[in-house]
Amino acid sequence: MVNILYEDNHIIVCVKERGILSQADGSDKPDMLNILKDYIKEKYNKPGNVYLGLVHRLDINTKGIMVFARTSKAANRLNECIKNNEFHKRYCATVEGEINNIEYIKLVNYLSKDEKNRVAYIDKLGKEAILEYRLLKKYKINNNIVSDIDIKLITGRFHQIRCQMANIGHPLYGDVKYGSKNHVSDEKFPLVAYHLEFIHPTTKELKIFEIEE
């Protein structure tokens, strides 16, 4: 069952669950692009290939809202929206340790990607990565203090949130790849892209979508 939040002739907005790729990677894992193509083909009884443009991605273990373009014109305009900083994503994450700031704090780093090991790392020659975060609530898991934080993602780098939060000593809870001492299943990875807003590619109206974890 595909969780569709909105659709028209130009775009389709859905919720990607954990364990699903944004786009096929050559493995046999399911991916949203093909899931939605099959959904459109069946719902509208479309013969042949279905066009669907991938505008942005979410990691396989991240749940969240995604928008796909149903025409090449919509894809181009959404890509322009991203370039013009008119495409805004917010995340909720559970990180290790105690976060105290209730106002947003900005993190600015430069990140590069280790393709072999599939990790991001701080690198002064890398691409600029910017986010803002603030505390939502603090509590304990197995006697370990954790903090739920709200994140405004300003840039969209590979593993950006995971790398930047780990760099300040607050890796995501269970994110052993970035230094967490705890373990969680992929189905419980604590990162959700819960808010998405952008300018509709044809109507030009502001579209805002949110989900609860």
Q: What is the CATH number of the domain that holds 51?
A: 3.30.2350.10
Q: How many domains does the chain have?
A: 2
Q: Is 9 within the bounds of a domain? A: yes
The model's confidence at residue 202, banded by pLDDT at 50, 70 and 90, is very high
CA neighbor of 60 nearest in space, from 193, 198, 186, 208: 186
Its pTM surpasses 0.95? no
170 and 80 together in one domain: no
The model's confidence at residue 98, banded by pLDDT at 50, 70 and 90, is very high
Q: Other CB atoms closer than 10 Å to residue 102's CB: what's the count?
A: 8
Is 28 a residue of the active site?
A: no
44 and 115 together in one domain: no
Average pLDDT over residues 89-100: 97
113 and 146 together in one domain: yes
127 pairs with which residues across the strands?
111
77 and 101 together in one domain: no
Half-sphere exposure of 113 (CA within 13 A, CB side): 10
59 and 98 together in one domain: no
Q: Is 169 within the bounds of a domain? A: yes
- For residue 51, the enclosing domain spans 4-84
List phi, psi (to 5°) of 33. Answer: -60, -50
d(CA 68, CA 165): 28
Q: Is 128 within the bounds of a domain? A: yes
Q: Is 212 within the bounds of a domain? A: no
95 and 177 together in one domain: yes
Average pLDDT over residues 97-125: 96
Residue from 28, 59, 114, 186 carrying the catalytic annotation: 59
Q: Is 102 within the bounds of a domain? A: yes
